[in-house]
Amino acid sequence: MAIIAISRQMGSGGYTIAAAVAKILKYEYADRQMIIDAAKAFDVSEAKIAEAAERRLSGWQRFDEERHRYRIFLDAAFYTIAERDNVVAAGRGIASLVRGISHAIRIRIMAPFDVRVERIMKKEGLDHAKAAHKIREYDRDVVARISYLFGPEWILPENYDVVINTLRDDPALYADMVASFANHPRFAPTPESTQMIRNLSLAARVRAAMAKDPRTQSALDLDVTADKGHVSVTGSVRHAALREAVTSVAREVPGVVSVSSEQVIVSFYHPAAV
């Protein structure tokens, strides 16, 4: 009944291992499908979100609001899946979304650079130079982009429960290893950890509803928390109408029992030209 969040390097065999783990445990397997689910669930263009997900860092810096919006929809899609438990989620930065969840297992799958190069050469029919260039470019761009999205901590090994070096080319071995963790009592869901996921999921869906609704799209920086259906929205807004719209949009989200709207109205003073 665990949630398994897997982050991997290109050429490490991470996706193959993740899919095998899901098959062994008969868990749901979620990877890029989460982006598709986000697009469908919130009426956001799938092509636009996918483009945002792959944009290089320089582009992200020019489109910070779009980055924020992408994170909001990704979080909502992921937590909707995680709320069902019994899921293997493979994706860059995903492990950071389950930090603090006791029945979530965070796995980092890696391999030595030369081993990864050899695997990409074999898989894609590239020579050594092209395969090495592809991996270096991927590592550089992904580390920068995902650090910008999720923070730099996602790449640190101490933020994972298990770090696996796939030097031995034996995906079945590593899949069995990960599956064994899922069956350990240490990672069994508790009422508290299950409720924590539900709270995170509801708060994420409220943020997504606000990001989607034209009335509240300018309020993406508000803090949203949830506790057993009771939602709290705090922060600052520029006028009372926006505060009322935030409350209205939040109340319409399925699962919301009540809304505590505690935004401070902040007016901006523009001194007249002298």
- 244 found inside a domain: yes
Higher pLDDT, 166 or 64: 166
| pLDDT exceeds 60 at position 18 | yes
User: What does the pLDDT read at residue 39?
Assistant: 60
Q: What is the pLDDT of residues 83-117, one digit of tens each?
A: 988 999 998 778 889 989 999 999 999 999 999 99
How many domains does one find in the chain? Answer: 2
Residues 126, 258 within the same domain: no
62-66, 205-209, 219-223, 268-272: range with lowest mean pLDDT: 268-272
Residues 172, 234 within the same domain: no
Q: What is the pLDDT of residues 192-209, one digit of tens each?
A: 999 999 999 999 999 999
pTM: 0.85
Residues 249, 168 within the same domain: no
Residues 158, 252 within the same domain: no
Provide, rounded to the nearest whole percent, the portion of the chain with pLDDT above 70. 84
Mean pLDDT of the chain, nearest integer: 86
In eight-state DSSP terms, residue 273 is: P
Residues 134, 174 within the same domain: yes
Residues 231, 99 within the same domain: no
Q: How far apart are CA 37 and CA 32, in angstroms?
A: 9
Residues 27, 120 within the same domain: yes
Read off the CATH number of the domain in which 57 is found.
3.40.50.300
In eight-state DSSP terms, residue 157 is: G
Instruction: Give the distance from CA 116 to its chain's centroid.
Output: 25
Which domain-ending residue is among 172, 187, 202? 187
| pLDDT exceeds 50 at position 241 | yes
Which domain-ending residue is among 149, 170, 187? 187
| pLDDT exceeds 60 at position 269 | no
- 274 found inside a domain: no
Residue 140: partners with Cβ closer than 8 Å, 6 or more residues away: none
Structural domain boundaries, residue 66: 3-187
| pLDDT exceeds 60 at position 239 | yes
Residue 88: partners with Cβ closer than 8 Å, 6 or more residues away: 4, 6, 18, 19, 21, 22, 25, 27, 28, 29, 30
Confidence of residue 53 (pLDDT cuts 50, 70, 90): low
